[in-house]
Amino acid sequence: MSSANPLLRFVAALALAAGALLGSAAHAATASAIFAGGCFWCTESDFEKLPGVIGAESGYTGGATKTPTYEAVSAGRTGHTQAVRVTYDPTKVSYAQLVEFFWKTIDPTEKDRQFCDSGTQYRSGIYWGSEAERQIVLASHDALQKSGRFKTIYTELAPASSFYLAEEYHQDYYKKNALRYSYYRLNCGRDAQLKRVWK
């Protein structure tokens, strides 16, 4: 029995090491991206329907105030915009595909607003996290500009800065408050305007 103990210990250590490696590989298999498309409830809802997206979190980015609150951001006092941090599987959807998908969920011709929500806190934006992502964002923007579809594109393009999670009641709002969310989205005219903009 004593001679088996070292073998058992070795096998157990090997299993732990393999588990750690698999865990690291699984963690490395995901990536994140930050987008602002006006109301973060809507942007979160749109992205979570996209195959390859693992989840989206509502929050605030692009401002100077640390630990901003919904009340302060909504009042336009912090410089932040409502945004979402999208976690995705790069083997199923690429960053470039996320960017192309995002354009179709906003009206890029609106400055400091989206649909029924106005103010810099509702400005649209794409915030890259690397040089490769920057090149993808700028190329996508340039292609859209050259297409002649829009005279001016106001969507902010900038490096990612601190992202602050919004309060818990904002997370998955479209699921937790489905009726209120549907009523808001309809009255805001988001989908009707998107059809006009992207027809």
Residues forming beta bridges with residue 3, ordered by sequence position: none
Residues with Cβ < 8 Å from 5, sequence gap 6 or more?
Answer: none
Confidence check: pLDDT of 138 > 50: yes
Beta carbons of 33 and 86 less than 8 angstroms apart: yes
Instruction: Write the DSSP string, 135-181.
Output: HHHHHHHHHHHHTTS-S----EEEE---EEEPPGGGTTHHHHTHHHH
Confidence check: pLDDT of 3 > 70: no
Catalytic residue chosen out of the listed positions 39, 42, 116, 188: 39
Query: How far is residue 88's CA from residue 95's CA, in Å, rounded to a whole number?
Result: 9
Sequence spans of domains, the chain: 26-197
Beta carbons of 30 and 89 less than 8 angstroms apart: yes
Please give the pLDDT value at position 5: 56
State yes or no: is 42 an active-site residue: no
| Region 26-197: CATH code | 3.30.1060.10
Band (1; pLDDT cuts 50, 70, 90): very low
